[in-house]
Each structure stands twice: as structure tokens, then as C-alpha cells.
Amino acid sequence: MPRLTVVVPAYNESAVLTAFHARLSKVLDQLPLACDVMYVDDGSRDDTWSIMQSLAASDPRVGTLKLSRNFGKEVALTAGLDHVDADAAVVIDADLQDPPELIPQLVEQWQAGYDVVYATRSARAGETGLKRFTAAAFYRTMEMMSDVAVPRDTGDFRLLSRRALAALGQLRERQRFMKGLFAWIGYRQTSIKYMRDPRLAGATKWNYWRLTQFAIEGITSFSSAPLKLATWTGLAAAVLAFLLAVKVLVKALLHGDPVPGYPSLMVVVLFLGGIQLLAIGVIGEYIGRNYNESKQRPLYFIEEEHRPGARTPLHTEATLQD
């Protein structure tokens, strides 16, 4: 029987985890597959880890993984996926915004031969108009600027086949824009539509500051278009400056030069200063990312690991030694 692992990253999700597992198990019980669940505790500060332990104690399908600190969702997800050795993996959020009831449909497409099956939201219930607008603007910008098409209105909720998993496992970059990486690996990809539910309980970890960081992350790790921005604005400024010079020259020749133009001078100086700072900032973003990659640090550390069904912790140091 083919095996499926559901990977669930969780950070301070004690309020929803039990309800989530109940709904997920109901779905897994009905699948004609050997299923297990891998919960990844991304350094939570509440009792998420102990809840995971009690879920594991009552359900032999549950495996748990505890990271040494909070590394962020993208890395938590990667840690979970690195530990999958099933035929396929499903990635799902713990807050029940991605309905587990959709998993059978994902599996269906996988069995029809697709490697990546992602779920596309057709509604964003419980989200403000501003959030919806910024999300839409982000996807459009990504589409225009990057070399791979990142599917719109798609979260991380998806199914990956074995070879897609293997491919993803080889992408060890530190700047992990998962939506982009999922798209970048290629293979046969398809989508199914669903209505996104509001969060069941707890609060989203995304404020606008984090979302902006995320957008910059997405664009800089998949496009070098912003680097060309400096070239093009520089060129445009040079052309304008040339036209202005011609105008000033002609005027001076015809009428002489009574009073030098202070306002136009200020405008030009401030405009160019602004463009230069912007361009330096853009270059800085890329250099900073280069710096992070060049350190070649491991993506995460594991504090504790329990395989499904196994009651004793697996010590990672011991396994690394032999």
C-alpha cells in the first residue's frame, strides 16, 4: 500500500492542535493509504510540544519533531519534509485554514500522475480588504518579475510526490521562499480549488511588517529585475538631464543668463540623490542575501525526534556519529 505523510509545522498552536488532529485523523482514516503525520514544533513557547506528545501517545501514526528554536515556517516545513520517506507528502497548516477534508482530492490527482498538487483559494474568508488587496498586488508583481510562475492565491497547502520531494530536498538555499521553490522544481503540477476558512483560534503570525519582508524575500530570491532598476532609472534620468541641458543652453544663448534657477537645481539634486539611495538599497538587499548564503550554515537543528509509533526519542547526535 502506498504511504503518505502529512507534514504540519506548528508555532504556538496549542489552542488548535487537538481540534486539528481530530479533523485530520477523520480524513486519514478514510484514505486507502498507509498514513502518518509529522508534527514539527518550530520552537513554540506555549505547550504545543506537550500536546504533540500526547497526540503521539494516543495515535501511533503521529511522529513529532522539535526544532532547537523558532526558525520560521519555511524552515520548519523543510525540516518536516526532510524527514519524510513515504511515497508522497502533504503540507498543511495547523490552524485549520487549509481544510484537511481536501486531502483525498489531492491524493486523487497524485494517483492520476501529478507530482505537485496544490490547493488554490477561491475565497479569503476572515481576511480584511487591505490584506486581500496586498496579496493580489504581490502575486501580480511576482508574476511580472520572476522567471518561474508562482501560482496565484496558493499557500503552502499541497501534495508532493516522491520525486518532487527528492528534488525539493536538494534545494538547500537559506532564503527559502517555499511557494517559489515548489514551482521551481517543475514536474507535472496541477491545482484544485477551495474556499479558505478563517483561522479557528489563535492569532496569525503575519503582520504587515513580516508580510513585507516575505514579499521582498520572494522577489529577491526569484528575480534579479530590481537590480536592473538602477540601470533603467539612471538611463532615464540621463536622458532627461540631457534634454534639460539643451533647453538651458538654448535659453542662455537667446536671453543670456540673468538668475540661476535654484528650484530646478534642488529638484534635480534631490531626485538623483533619491534614486541613488534606492539603487544602493536594492543592491544591499542582494548582497545581504549573498552573505547569508555564503555562510553555508545548516538550515535548522533538531532538539528531539519521535518516529511514528516509536516511544523513545531518537538521538540525532548518535545517528550522525556512525
Which residues of this chain interact with ligand UDP, rule CB under 6 A? 9-11, 13, 42, 70, 72-73, 76, 93-95, 97, 204-206
Decide which of Mg ion, ligand UDP, none touches 74; Cβ closer than 5 to 8 Å per partner kind. Answer: none
Per-residue binder mask for Mg ion (CB under 5 A), 78-117, x = binder: -----------------x-x--------------------
Q: H-helix or E-strand containing 67? A: strand 62-67
Phi, psi values for residue 89, rounded to 5°: -130, 140
CB of 96 to Mg ion, least distance (A): 8
For residue 96, count other CB atoms closer than 10 A to its CB: 21
In which element (H, E) is residue 7 found?
strand 3-10
- Whole-angstrom distance, CA of residue 41 vs CA of residue 19: 17
Query: Among Mg ion, ligand UDP, none, what binds residue 94 when CB lies within 5 to 8 Å by partner kind?
Result: ligand UDP
**Minimum gap (Å) between residue 281 Cβ and ligand UDP:** 26
In the bound state with ligand UDP, the residue whose beta carbon lies nearer, of 72 and 218, is 72
* Nearest to ligand UDP of 25, 114 (CB atom): 25
36 binds, among ligand UDP, Mg ion, none (CB under 5 to 8 A by kind): none
Least distance to ligand UDP from the beta carbon of 47, Å?
Answer: 14
Complete DSSP assignment for 72-132: -HHHHHHHHHHT--SSEEEE--TTSSS-GGGHHHHHHHHHTT-SEEEEEEEEETT--HHHH
CB nearer to Mg ion: pick between 131 and 289 = 131
Which of 291, 296, 119 is closest to 220 using CA atoms? 291
